[in-house]
Amino acid sequence: MKQPALQEEIIDRKQLVQYFSTGAVPRAQLRTGIECEVFAVREKDLAPVPFFGDKGIEAILKRMAENFGWSPVFEGPHVIGLHKGSCSVTLEPGGQIELSCPPDTRIARCIEEHTEFTCQLREITSPMGIRLMKTGYHPTARLDDVEWVPKSRYREMSKYFREKGGHLAHHMMKLTTSVQTSIDYENEADFSNKIMLASYLTPILQAVYSNSPFKLGRFSGSMDFRGVCWEYTDDDRCGLMYRAFSGNFGFDDYIDFLLDMPMIVRFDREGAVPMKGMPFKEYCKSGPLTMEEWHSHVSFAFPEIRLRRYIELRMCDSVPDSLVPTIPALLKGLFYDSENRKALTEMFKDVSPEEALKAYREVHQKALRAEYSGRPILQLARDIVSLAEQGLTRLGREGAISSPDEAGLLDPLKEQLWEKGMSPAEELVKLWEKNGYKIWSLRDRILL
C-alpha cells in the first residue's frame, strides 16, 4: 500500500488510516531511532544562549554549516535549522538544539551520528565560551531570560498556550529538553500492543530517566520537573491517552484523538493562520483539505506516546551522554522481543489505567522512590532492565535487527540502578545538598 501524497485531497477517512498503516514495516526491518535535545549555555554563569548576536544560536548554526558541511534551513532571513543527508538539526522554541537522524536496525549507528554531531557542536561552541548542558529543565534560568526562536510555528504556539494552555506551557517550550526514541510497528495489532505496553511503562521510564530537579537554582520539589511542565501544558494534546491502555487502541482511535484535538495554526501561501482551538473535525467541514494539512496537524499532538508513522516515546528527560544509548537499547530489548512482550503483559495484567496514571503523577515528584500499584518503582525498573538485557541477547542471536554486543549498551543503566539505586535527578540533588546547596557545584555533572 502506498503512502498518500501530501498534495492529495482528503475525500475519505480511509486515507487517514492509510497515512498510518503505510508506516508498518516487516519484522526483519524493525528500526530504533533517537532524537536528542540539548541546551547551549554560557560557561561563566549557565545563562541561556540567546538566538540573536555574534555568539547566539543562529551564529552557532551558521558556523556549523561553514565548518562541517551542513546546509542551513531558513525561515525568512534567519537560519533556524540545518540538514545534511538524512539528518536534520532543529531548534526548540527557546533555542534548544535537537539532532534527528534516521532510525536504524543497529543502535550503534544512531549513537555514532549523535556522538559525531556533539563533537562538532562542541568544537564550535567551546571557543565562544559556550557549553552544552544535559538536564531536562534549565536549572537556573527565568522564563523571560530565554529568547523565542523566530519561527512562525512557535509564535502561534506561544499565543495559543498563553490563552488556552496551562500555566507551565511556556516553561515546557523554552526551558525543557528530552531524549525521544522511535520504534516501528509491523501492523495495526502490533501498534495496539506496543502503545498499551508503552503506556504502562511510562511511569517507570520517567522515573529511571528523571533529570530535572532544579528550578531557579533551587530544588523544585520534583525530580522530574520537565514532566510537571508537560502535565500543566494542554490536556487536549499532552499526557497519557486513557484509551491506549485498553490493548485494542488502533489507528482509528488515534485518528479520533486527532480529529477532536483543537487546532493551533494552519499554514497557507500567506503564512500562518491562527485557528484559535477549532477542532480539526470542524475544520474538515470548511472545504477540501489536503494530506499536507493533516500532516501538519499531526505534528501538534504531544502525548507521551505519539504516532507518526512510527511510535515515538517522549517521556525521558535529557540525560548525561553515558545514559543516552541505554534508552534505545532498553526500549528495543523490551518491544522487539516477543518473549518480553508477553512478560510485560503479565507484569501489568492486574494494573488498572487509574493506577498507572497515579504512578505517572507520583514519579514526577519521587522518581525511583515512588510506588506503582503497590510495588517499588526501583524494583520494577530493575526488572525491566533485566528483561531488556535478555531480549537484546536473544535478538543478537537472531542477527536480523540486532548485533550480539547491544546488550552491553545497558551497562551504564545497570550501574545507575543497582550500584547507585537512584535516578540522575536523585543523584544531582544528593550532590547539591552535599555541596552546600550550590548549583554551580554541579557544573561538571551537567555540562559537556
Residue 26 lies in a domain: yes
Report how far residue 217's alpha carbon sits from residue 141's, in angstroms, rounded to the nearest whole number: 8
Tell whether the model's pLDDT for residue 313 goes beyond 80.
Answer: yes
Which phi and psi angles does 248 have, rounded to 5°?
-125, 30
Tell whether the model's pLDDT for residue 279 goes beyond 80.
Answer: yes
CB < 8 Å & 24+ apart, contacts of 341-346: 341/193, 341/197, 343/387, 344/197, 344/200, 344/201, 344/384, 344/387, 345/193, 345/197
What is the domain-level CATH number for residue 374?
A: 3.30.590.20
Residues in Cβ contact with 67 at an 8 Å cutoff, skipping those fewer than 6 apart: 120, 123, 124
Residue 4 lies in a domain: no
Instruction: Map 10-48 to HEC letters.
Output: CCCHHHHHHHHHCCCCCHHHCCEEEEEEEEEEECCCCCE
Q: What is the pLDDT of residue 400?
A: 83
Return the bridge partners of 130, or none.
42
Do 325 and 264 touch, CB atoms closer than 8 A? Answer: no
Residue 445 lies in a domain: no
Q: What is the pLDDT of residue 1?
A: 60
Given the C-alpha cell 564550535, which residue does it identify?
124
Tell whether the model's pLDDT for residue 4 goes beyond 80.
Answer: no
Q: What is the pLDDT of residue 399?
A: 82
Q: Average pLDDT of 365-390?
A: 98
Residue 5 lies in a domain: no
Q: What is the pLDDT of residue 186?
A: 98
Residue 6 lies in a domain: no
Residue 3 lies in a domain: no
- Arithmetic mean of pLDDT over the chain: 96
Q: What is the pLDDT of residue 312?
A: 98
Residue 62 lies in a domain: yes
The kind and range of the H/E element at 376 are strand 375-376
Domain count, the chain: 1
Choose between 1 and 79: higher pLDDT: 79
**What is the percent of the chain with per-residue pLDDT over 70, rounded to a whole number?**
100
Return the bridge partners of 181, or none.
34, 313
User: Would residue 421 be called left, alpha or beta, if left means φ above 0 and alpha means ψ between -120 and 50 degrees?
Assistant: left
Q: What is the pLDDT of residue 5?
A: 80
Segments forming the whole domain that contains residue 331: 13-439
Residue 138 lies in a domain: yes
Rounded-to-5 percentages of helix, strand, coil across the chain = 50, 20, 30
* pTM exceeds 0.85, yes or no: yes
Tell whether the model's pLDDT for residue 73 goes beyond 90.
Answer: yes
